[in-house]
Structure 1
Amino acid sequence: MSLLHVNDLGVTFHPTQGPPVRAVDSVSFHVDAGEILAVVGESGSGKTVTALSLLGLTPEAPGCSTTGNITLDDTELRSLDSRGWRATRGAEVAMVFQDPSSALNPLLTIGTQIMDAVRAHETVTRDEARRRAIEALTLARMTEPERRLKQYAHELSGGMRQRAAIALAIAARPRLLIADEPTTALDVGVQAAILAMLRSLCDDLDMGLILITHDLGVVAEQADRVCVMYAGRIVESGPTAEVLGNPRMPYTQALLAATPRLDSPARQRLSSVTGQPPNLAERPPGCPFAPRCPLVTSDCTHKVPELVPLENDHAAACLFAEVPQELLRRPAPSSSVTVTKAAPVTAGLPEPNEALAEFEAVELHYPVRSGPFRRVTSHVRAVQQVSLRVAPGRTLALVGESGSGKTSLTKMLLRLERPTGGAVRFDGIDVTRPKPAELRRLQREVQVVFQNPYASLDPRMTVRQTLAEPLRVHGLDHAEEDLARLLADVGLDVAALNRFPSAFSGGQRQRIAIARALALRPRLIVCDEAVSALDVSIQAQVLNLLADLQAQHGIAYLFITHNLAVVRSVAHEIAVMRDGRLVEQGPAEQIYDSPAHEYTRELLSMAPGHPTSVANPGTAGDGLGRPDRTSTPASPDEERSAAWPR
């Protein structure tokens, strides 16, 4: 049964200075009840603006104009007034935003926010609203849901905040759920559980789901259909197996080539798409992907391709979409090749003979205060007896589920937390008690890229000021060409220098944060989920950049991530944490080939593309090493969601 119809949607922003920006251009798609539609594409391709249009959250005129039709069931959403939108948001259409911190009120407990969402749309008692809040948190796989009701957003880890945001969105039982990068901050175990929960809700409650993501592995395993967006337009669409297994648009092919794979050789250089998406305020004539396309011809530069229907409900916007693919598998002219071919990254890397950064029997305990006088009644043992070393010029990947102590451990190296016990050293410097000269060297030689790109940039500073500040503080040159080079390294145009963070998407903000960390050419960079917010093409570009800098300058990385395919492509050593303890560590190849600890084997088995994650090895894959979604066994959430009637 059809649930949502979007026809010829267009969204144009009208800035006070400069030409209009056509962010969404003639977009049409539909979502059926019980169906998952994935929307993929690079940052700035129009995915989130399209989603905001479905909720009526785009700016009002004259700052923004919207055209086209959006029909949910029999209701034309664009005809709703403010009162109609308030009744529709949450009850009929809900959204899980990319940044969970922006969706949660820091002044209210998690329970209060979810209960208010339920009572805003339904006449229920406070006890019933509380029961529904616990039920929503349970469905979102939140541990100790009754305890979380009393907590505030700042008391939760990044992954827990994301689960709370999902619970807030599904509490009122919407007909259509829009999830904008809902699993970006989640480890593989929780990601699998959350996606299985969303799948079961769609199946059992006939809820439609629009999944905005850059993770093509998630798309392959969960989505029924997929739309690929580029420069505000849909350039390819169709059933997931058809689009990923037989892509007809060069842009889709480039995204697939740039996706890290768990079965690839260790520390393999990733394929990446050079160049940048077009400036939507100054659209070039012809195909918007032409400047980056390896198959470009003269016709591509002056003719905009339409979305051509193909077999099996497949469509692609390319002049070569209907040409047999075997005819296109030829070397492109050297002047038009823009895909950087993969090559091993092995040369010039030192052996781990000494430690640049070292943790020795480190412990970190957080006090728990309760009672009217807020006395310390117990402690949370976030890190317990952890010993690790990061060698110069090498990458140590720190993996584990959300709340396992990974970030708490690195905070002690960054002097953001003082260890309860043990020692933390950097190149002979006692990090807890550095001398003034040592502190200045520590601040320059150790940099960090935080997990949340929204909170790590000062909203009052332009990109120019953000990049120039650390250079100025340490007395280094910060000329225009140096700042432009930093932006080019992470795939941004020099025009970004005069803009504020609010003008960028989450992925673009993370690129700016990475550029700031690279500005001082440090000896060690702590990457706390540094590439989780990036789309696959930019992710590949940034990972290759980090590998190049490591080979050229001997930079070491402490890489915190939940993406085990990314770990495979960057790590020399892997350390696995659980409940604040180190359960396994060793060379990356050894951990992947023969993990010793049961928890490590469990993490690997849940990672998309790992052989043990394939329920039925005889089923067809999708070109990413993932099984067909129909072969995935039923989730325990199906029983739970079946008991949740509308």
Structure 2
Amino acid sequence: MTLLEIEDLSVTFNGGPSSPAVRAVDSVDLTLEAGETLAVVGESGSGKTVTALSLLGLNPPEPVCGTTGSIRLDGTDLRALGPREWRAVRGRRVAMVFQDPGSALNPLLTLGIQITDAVRAHERLTREQARRRAVKALEQARMPEPERRLRQYPHELSGGMRQRAAIALAIAARPRLLIADEPTTALDVAVQAEIMAMLRSLCVDLGMGLILITHDLGVVAEQADRVAVMYAGRVVESGPAAQVLKRPRMPYTQALLAATPRLDAPARTRLVSIEGQPPRLRDRPSGCSFANRCPVAVDDCATTAPPLTLFDGGHAAACLFADAPVEPPAARTAPAARAVPAELSETVAEASAEPPIAEFDAVDLRYPVRSGALRRVTGHVHAVQGVSLKVEAGRTLALVGESGSGKTSLTKLLLRLERPSGGTVRYDGIDVTRPGPADLRRLQREVQVVFQNPYASLDPRLTVRQILEEPLRVHGLDAGEDTLTGLLRDVGLDSFALDRFPSAFSGGQRQRIAIARALALRPRLIVCDEAVSALDVSIQAQVLNLLADLQAEHGMAYLFITHDLAVVRSVAHRIAVMRHGRIVEEGAAEDIYAAPAHEYTRELLARAPGRNTPSAGGPAISPTAGDTRPSPTAPLSQNKERSPLWRR
């Protein structure tokens, strides 16, 4: 039974008198069956979220935004609904899990009030019945201690727990269609697997349709029935997930697969990024939008816009070579694997003999628990318990573990955002809890951080130019146009972004701006708290390669917090696995991947998505004889152009 039909959907944002209109979604056709999962993938700014917002009627009204085409849900024309009808549809028939759970949850209300209000808005239930429904929704979202969470506010939860609360809020009213915009971005692999299994079971049990917006192709391979690939506002390839991922017909899909980090790749292998940048939608080319980045483009690609052509098995692609996909040159010439360069190995060996640049010595962190009318301290939450770690200069220490295990709390001690309850935290010999004025200024310049949430880490009142200029001016560094443009180019953005505000960018684009700000001061140590989790795979590969280059050239160290074990394999020299505030396993990355000693580490590796992801040449993402896409370990084009800041 067809649940959702989208025909010729176009969304145009109208500029002012001097600004041309921008068509963010261009002639999109999609269908979704009841009980089916449709994954929508593509780079940031490709139109995925705008398409999803159209299904909820949340795009700006006329004349700011114009929408054309047809959207039918269970036979109802959603575009014909008025404001009163939309209120009955949102939450009950169509619900959405937004990319940023912090902005989706009301900070002034407890989770219990928010979820019960959402249920009672659509169903005649008593408060007790609604409360039981809220507990059930939290249980389905795999929230620990759901009864207790009902009394908590969003700021009392970790990022992963807030994401689970947002999912519970969306599914509490049991909608017919659930739109999940990057629902597992903030979740560790164990919870990610549970959440996706839960969403799949809801689709089957309730006949609910799921639109999954994600950049994680491993999740797509394991969870999606069908996939639609979007680029520059258009669907450029669609079809059954296994077929599209096994034999992609569009070079852009091949490039996304090639850029995906893999668990079976050699350690610290350079990733393949997509050269160039997507076209600006207000200057859309007359031919194929991907032509300027495509390794197999011919002259006709620049002048002829290929239609979305349907092939056997419901597989469709918009490419002049879709009927006989052309193997990109990189796939034919690339070696099977690329090891770490000899000069980098020498640098690493020298670095390992030096004193650590950062050190945690038997560190404890306890948060007080207050209760009662007088808010007296009645207990403590042990976020960090007796942790000892060393971050060596020029090396990357990856800190992995489930949400709420204490990873971010530990790094807050190094950043002076929390004071340890016990133990010592040092940076290059400086006790970070008691630095002098000169040491404090040095800490503020040499230790930078990329926070997990790009929506909260950028000041919405400042332009990108002001965001990048501020730290440079504070520390007396050059903040000229060339420097700022170079920083943006390093993270895959154009100079036109300088005079725009953060609200004009997608979540992935905002994270790139945050990374550029962290790189601006040429720090010696960067704390990356899920720094690439919000990025699509092509930009993720570009940023990870940039970080590796800076480490090789400048001896920069990274404390890398992530739940993506494939990313960890591509960047980490050492891994520390954290659970319940303690380090349960630590060692060289190669040793832990080859023979994990702790049961929890083995569980994390077993649950990592994409271990058996279909590829163009076989059942797993690994270079094989028949692979028709670029090898993920192929060398990048050696473009050494970098910002003037790093050449100094």
The TM-score, its normalising length taken from structure 1, stands at 0.93
The answer for the alignment partner of 1:156 in structure 2 is 157
Alpha-carbon distance, 1:18 to partner = 1.0
Residues 468 and 342 of structure 1: is their aligned pair in 2 closer, same or farther, counting only changes over 3 Å?
farther
Tell me how far apart the structure 2 counterparts of residues 46 and 358 of structure 1 sit (CA, whole Å).
44
Alpha-carbon distance, 1:329 to partner = 2.6
Q: Is the 8 A contact 1:467 1:519 kept in 2?
A: yes
Alignment of 1:233-248 (within 5 A): 233-248=234-249
Tell me how far apart the structure 1 counterparts of residues 328 and 184 of structure 2 sit (CA, whole Å).
37
Alignment of 1:346-385 (within 5 A): 346=341, 347-348=343-344, 349-351=347-349, 352-353=352-353, 354-385=355-386
Could you tell me which amino acid in structure 2 is paired with residue 34 of structure 1? Answer: G
Deviates more, 1:339-348 or 1:43-52: 339-348
Which stretches in structure 1 are left out of the alignment for 5+ residues? 615-619, 626-646
Alpha-carbon distance, 1:343 to partner = 3.9
After superposition, give the CA deviation of every residue in 1:430-470 in whole Å (9 maximum; x if it has no partner).
Answer: 10000100000010000000000000000000000000100
Residue 2 (structure 1) aligned with residue 2 (structure 2): yes
Q: Is the 8 A contact 1:524 1:557 kept in 2?
A: yes
Alpha-carbon distance, 1:285 to partner = 1.4
Q: Is the 8 A contact 1:271 1:341 kept in 2?
A: no
After superposition, give the CA deviation of every residue in 1:573-613 in whole Å (9 maximum; x if it has no partner).
Answer: 000000000111000000110111111111111112448x9
Alpha-carbon distance, 1:15 to partner = 2.0
Alignment of 1:403-482 (within 5 A): 403-482=404-483
The answer for the alignment partner of 1:345 in structure 2 is 340
Tell me how far apart the structure 2 counterparts of residues 585 and 53 of structure 1 sit (CA, whole Å).
47
- Partner SS, residue 312 of structure 1: helix
- Partner SS, residue 444 of structure 2: helix
The answer for the alignment partner of 1:329 in structure 2 is 327
The answer for the alignment partner of 1:563 in structure 2 is 564
Could you tell me which amino acid in structure 1 is paired with residue 106 of structure 2? Answer: N
Could you tell me which amino acid in structure 1 is paired with residue 12 of structure 2? Answer: T
- Partner SS, residue 273 of structure 1: coil
- Partner SS, residue 72 of structure 2: strand
Residues 342 and 67 of structure 1: is their aligned pair in 2 closer, same or farther, counting only changes over 3 Å?
farther
Tell me how far apart the structure 2 counterparts of residues 463 and 103 of structure 1 sit (CA, whole Å).
24
- Partner SS, residue 129 of structure 1: helix
Deviates more, 1:344-353 or 1:140-149: 344-353
What is the root-mean-square deviation of aligned Cα atoms in Å? 1.8
The answer for the alignment partner of 2:629 in structure 1 is none
Alignment of 1:207-222 (within 5 A): 207-222=208-223
Q: Give runs of ≥4 in structure 1 deviating > 6 Å.
A: 339-342
Tell me how far apart the structure 2 counterparts of residues 434 and 539 of structure 1 sit (CA, whole Å).
35
The answer for the alignment partner of 2:548 in structure 1 is 547
Tell me how far apart the structure 1 counterparts of residues 488 and 365 of structure 2 sit (CA, whole Å).
37
Tell me how far apart the structure 1 counterparts of residues 110 and 59 of structure 2 sit (CA, whole Å).
28
Which stretches in structure 2 are left out of the alignment for 5+ residues? 624-648
Alpha-carbon distance, 1:525 to partner = 0.1
Could you tell me which amino acid in structure 2 is paired with residue 380 of structure 1? Answer: V
- Partner SS, residue 313 of structure 2: coil
Residue 15 (structure 1) aligned with residue 40 (structure 2): no
Alpha-carbon distance, 1:66 to partner = 0.1
Alpha-carbon distance, 1:340 to partner = 13
Alignment of 1:608-619 (within 5 A): 608-610=609-611
The answer for the alignment partner of 2:250 in structure 1 is 249
Residues 330 and 472 of structure 1: is their aligned pair in 2 closer, same or farther, counting only changes over 3 Å?
closer
Q: Is the 8 A contact 1:295 1:332 kept in 2?
A: no
Tell me how far apart the structure 2 counterparts of residues 549 and 320 of structure 1 sit (CA, whole Å).
38
Tell me how far apart the structure 2 counterparts of residues 341 and 494 of structure 1 sit (CA, whole Å).
36
After superposition, give the CA deviation of every residue in 1:123-151 in whole Å (9 maximum; x if it has no partner).
Answer: 01111000000000000000000000000
Alpha-carbon distance, 1:30 to partner = 0.3
Alignment of 1:156-305 (within 5 A): 156-305=157-306
Tell me how far apart the structure 1 counterparts of residues 622 and 8 of structure 2 sit (CA, whole Å).
32
Alpha-carbon distance, 1:344 to partner = 3.3
Alpha-carbon distance, 1:106 to partner = 0.3
After superposition, give the CA deviation of every residue in 1:466-512 in whole Å (9 maximum; x if it has no partner).
Answer: 00100000000110000000000000000000000000000000000
Q: Is the 8 A contact 2:398 2:568 kept in 1?
A: yes
Tell me how far apart the structure 1 counterparts of residues 406 and 451 of structure 2 sit (CA, whole Å).
15
The answer for the alignment partner of 2:639 in structure 1 is none
Could you tell me which amino acid in structure 1 is paired with residue 262 of structure 2? Answer: R
Alpha-carbon distance, 1:624 to partner = 6.3
Q: How many residues are treated as equivalent by the alignment?
A: 614
Q: Is the 8 A contact 1:114 1:168 kept in 2?
A: yes
Residue 536 (structure 1) aligned with residue 537 (structure 2): yes
Percent identity between matched residues is 73
Residues 66 and 149 of structure 1: is their aligned pair in 2 closer, same or farther, counting only changes over 3 Å?
same
Q: Is the 8 A contact 2:262 2:611 kept in 1?
A: no
Tell me how far apart the structure 1 counterparts of residues 485 and 543 of structure 2 sit (CA, whole Å).
16
Residues 92 and 527 of structure 1: is their aligned pair in 2 closer, same or farther, counting only changes over 3 Å?
same
The answer for the alignment partner of 1:621 in structure 2 is 619
Alpha-carbon distance, 1:622 to partner = 5.3
Tell me how far apart the structure 1 counterparts of residues 414 and 101 of structure 2 sit (CA, whole Å).
26
- Partner SS, residue 455 of structure 1: helix
Tell me how far apart the structure 2 counterparts of residues 146 and 379 of structure 1 sit (CA, whole Å).
19
Q: Is the 8 A contact 2:396 2:572 kept in 1?
A: yes
Tell me how far apart the structure 1 counterparts of residues 520 and 611 of structure 2 sit (CA, whole Å).
36
Could you tell me which amino acid in structure 2 is paired with residue 344 of structure 1? Answer: A
Alpha-carbon distance, 1:284 to partner = 1.3
Q: Is the 8 A contact 1:263 1:609 kept in 2?
A: no
Tell me how far apart the structure 1 counterparts of residues 128 and 328 of structure 2 sit (CA, whole Å).
66
Alpha-carbon distance, 1:623 to partner = 3.9
The answer for the alignment partner of 1:643 in structure 2 is none
Tell me how far apart the structure 2 counterparts of residues 269 and 333 of structure 1 sit (CA, whole Å).
15
Residues 485 and 330 of structure 1: is their aligned pair in 2 closer, same or farther, counting only changes over 3 Å?
closer
Q: Is the 8 A contact 1:345 1:547 kept in 2?
A: no
Alpha-carbon distance, 1:345 to partner = 3.5
After superposition, give the CA deviation of every residue in 1:325-357 in whole Å (9 maximum; x if it has no partner).
Answer: 4xx2363899xx9x9997433433323222000
Tell me how far apart the structure 2 counterparts of residues 530 and 330 of structure 1 sit (CA, whole Å).
30
Tell me how far apart the structure 1 counterparts of residues 572 and 81 of structure 2 sit (CA, whole Å).
52
Alpha-carbon distance, 1:204 to partner = 1.1
Residues 470 and 340 of structure 1: is their aligned pair in 2 closer, same or farther, counting only changes over 3 Å?
farther
Tell me how far apart the structure 1 counterparts of residues 328 and 240 of structure 2 sit (CA, whole Å).
27
Tell me how far apart the structure 2 counterparts of residues 451 and 340 of structure 1 sit (CA, whole Å).
35
Tell me how far apart the structure 2 counterparts of residues 384 and 239 of structure 1 sit (CA, whole Å).
47
Tell me how far apart the structure 1 counterparts of residues 516 and 440 of structure 2 sit (CA, whole Å).
22
Residues 475 and 550 of structure 1: is their aligned pair in 2 closer, same or farther, counting only changes over 3 Å?
same
- Partner SS, residue 261 of structure 1: coil
Tell me how far apart the structure 2 counterparts of residues 539 and 332 of structure 1 sit (CA, whole Å).
19
Residue 318 (structure 1) aligned with residue 319 (structure 2): yes
The answer for the alignment partner of 2:389 in structure 1 is 388
Alpha-carbon distance, 1:212 to partner = 0.1
Tell me how far apart the structure 2 counterparts of residues 274 and 541 of structure 1 sit (CA, whole Å).
9
- Partner SS, residue 30 of structure 2: strand
The answer for the alignment partner of 1:142 in structure 2 is 143
- Partner SS, residue 99 of structure 2: coil
Q: Is the 8 A contact 2:452 2:531 kept in 1?
A: yes
Q: Is the 8 A contact 1:274 1:340 kept in 2?
A: no
Residues 570 and 362 of structure 1: is their aligned pair in 2 closer, same or farther, counting only changes over 3 Å?
same
Could you tell me which amino acid in structure 2 is paired with residue 4 of structure 1? Answer: L
Residues 449 and 332 of structure 1: is their aligned pair in 2 closer, same or farther, counting only changes over 3 Å?
closer
Could you tell me which amino acid in structure 1 is paired with residue 388 of structure 2? Answer: S
Residue 588 (structure 1) aligned with residue 589 (structure 2): yes
Tell me how far apart the structure 2 counterparts of residues 469 and 112 of structure 1 sit (CA, whole Å).
40
Alpha-carbon distance, 1:74 to partner = 1.3
Alpha-carbon distance, 1:311 to partner = 1.2
Q: Is the 8 A contact 1:278 1:284 kept in 2?
A: yes
Tell me how far apart the structure 2 counterparts of residues 320 and 573 of structure 1 sit (CA, whole Å).
44
Q: Is the 8 A contact 1:220 1:622 kept in 2?
A: no
Could you tell me which amino acid in structure 2 is paired with residue 621 of structure 1? Answer: P
Tell me how far apart the structure 1 counterparts of residues 329 and 448 of structure 2 sit (CA, whole Å).
41
The TM-score, its normalising length taken from structure 2, stands at 0.93
Alpha-carbon distance, 1:534 to partner = 0.1
Q: Is the 8 A contact 2:42 2:536 kept in 1?
A: yes
Could you tell me which amino acid in structure 2 is paired with residue 556 of structure 1? Answer: A
Could you tell me which amino acid in structure 1 is paired with residue 4 of structure 2? Answer: L
- Partner SS, residue 312 of structure 2: coil
